[in-house]
């Protein structure tokens, strides 16, 4: 139930200034208004001079830290900024405030759950993106979604070097509702890199919706969206990192082909709906002695999934990429949990790699869609 914004902000102020504060985070912007800073975080600290509130603000280019007395007007100045979201955690409970389009406050409160200090530390440490991040306030942060986001970010972290290039340019092809796009941005920006992200989706309504979310999160200068096909959408740069998460059937091949054409350094693709190779297998007998693999429709479909992604990995290797095929989230969340993780290297393909790929395609009598796209 919406309530007065002034009353809700007064409650936020009381929680920040009361003993027991864990942290408070402000981000996003209200409709038609833009804060002077992108994000602010307040935490209690103990200095030689006594207890203080540490305020870390970010203007979009760099963080700025200061320590103020709890009675300082700095908190009131933060509360006067037109942030779209506040998230406050304390020993008494958690408050999440979102400013509606009408300028009211939508507030969710939850009581604190007692836990040993070590357990709290371990719980906070296990997430790559803090569960209290404003992203989850905007997109919804149930446990399943947080686990999926964390699993994806761990695969992303394992793909990239410890020292990120800055700027790091990212394109997400077939981004859909873009919650993983935003998660990637929040995580990578949190590692200190200047990150620029473009999300591509064929639907104009998704572009509009995702652009509004970017504004709400205060990152619309760095995270933008375009409507267009994976093959033809115009993006403002050649990316370092390409994401293609659950693009259906040959849309994954289109994304991989475009990543190769850009010479992207890193590619993460989670394939979905493998129909192309399955249809090719249906029209011809399997080579001996593998008839049992394709005799039954359900087995043929499952084998086609494995063969499709094996051939995709092989083609990427022939284009100079080191490829790993991993499970990026437990199958209890989605059966489409396979991830192709590729890193461009200067090493040319070997004769053995070429021979292995050619033997596999000729033996099964298939021509992968990605092979045709890369030949164009």
Residue 67, CB half-sphere, CA atoms under 13 Å: how many?
9
Query: How far is it, in rounded angstroms, from Cα 315 to Cα 141?
Result: 37
pLDDT at 258: 97
Q: Which residue has the tokens 């800073």?
A: 37
User: By C-alpha distance, which of 24, 29, 22 is closest to 11?
Assistant: 24
Is the CB of residue 303 less than 8 Å from the CB of residue 311? no
Surface-to-core class of residue 343, CB atoms within 10 Å of its CB (0-12 exposed, 13-18 middle, 19+ buried): middle
H or E element, residue 233 = none
Ranges of the chain with pLDDT below 50: 115-125, 333-334
Q: What's the confidence (pLDDT) of residue 121?
A: 45
Backbone phi, psi, residue 44, to 5°: -80, 140
Token digits of residue 55: 């305020």
Structure tokens at 341: 């993780």
What pLDDT was estimated at residue 350? Answer: 94
C-beta of residue 106 within 8 angstroms of C-beta of residue 97: yes
- Cα distances (Å, whole numbers) of residue 70 to 67, 73, 74, 205, 369: 9, 9, 9, 45, 62
């Amino acid at each position: 139930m919406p309530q007065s914004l002034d009353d809700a902000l007064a409650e936020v102020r009381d929680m920040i200034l009361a003993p027991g504060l864990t942290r408070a985070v402000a981000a996003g912007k209200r409709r038609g208004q833009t804060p002077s800073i992108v994000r602010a975080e307040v935490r209690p600290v103990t200095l030689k001079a006594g207890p203080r509130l540490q305020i870390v603000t970010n203007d979009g280019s760099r963080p700025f830290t200061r320590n103020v007395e709890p009675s300082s007007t700095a908190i009131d100045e933060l509360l006067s900024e037109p942030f779209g979201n506040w998230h406050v955690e304390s020993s008494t409970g958690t408050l999440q405030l979102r400013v509606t389009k009408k300028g009211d406050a939508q507030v969710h409160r939850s009581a604190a759950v007692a836990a040993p200090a070590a357990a709290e530390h371990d719980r906070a440490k296990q997430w790559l993106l803090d569960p209290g991040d404003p992203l989850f306030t905007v997109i919804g942060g149930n446990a399943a979604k947080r686990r999926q986001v964390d699993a994806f970010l761990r695969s992303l972290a394992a793909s990239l070097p410890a020292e990120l290039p800055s700027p790091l340019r990212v394109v997400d092809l077939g981004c859909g509702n873009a919650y993983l796009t935003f998660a990637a941005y929040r995580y990578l920006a949190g590692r200190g890199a200047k990150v620029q992200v473009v999300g591509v989706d064929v639907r104009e309504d998704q572009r509009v919706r995702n652009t509004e979310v970017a504004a709400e999160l205060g990152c619309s200068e760095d995270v933008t969206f375009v409507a267009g096909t994976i093959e033809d959408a115009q993006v403002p740069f050649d990316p370092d990192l390409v994401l293609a998460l659950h693009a259906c059937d040959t849309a994954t091949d289109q994304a991989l082909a475009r990543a190769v054409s850009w010479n992207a350094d890193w590619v993460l693709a989670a394939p979905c709906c493998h129909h192309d190779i399955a249809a090719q297998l249906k029209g011809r007998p399997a080579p001996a002695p593998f008839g049992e693999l394709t005799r039954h429709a359900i087995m043929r479909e499952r084998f086609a999934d494995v063969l499709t992604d094996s051939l995709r990995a092989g083609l990427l290797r022939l284009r100079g990429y080191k490829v790993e095929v991993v499970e990026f989230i437990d199958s209890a969340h989605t059966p489409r949990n396979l991830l192709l993780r590729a890193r461009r290297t200067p090493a040319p393909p070997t004769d053995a790699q070429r021979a292995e790929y050619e033997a596999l395609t000729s033996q099964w009598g298939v021509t992968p869609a990605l092979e045709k796209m890369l030949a164009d």
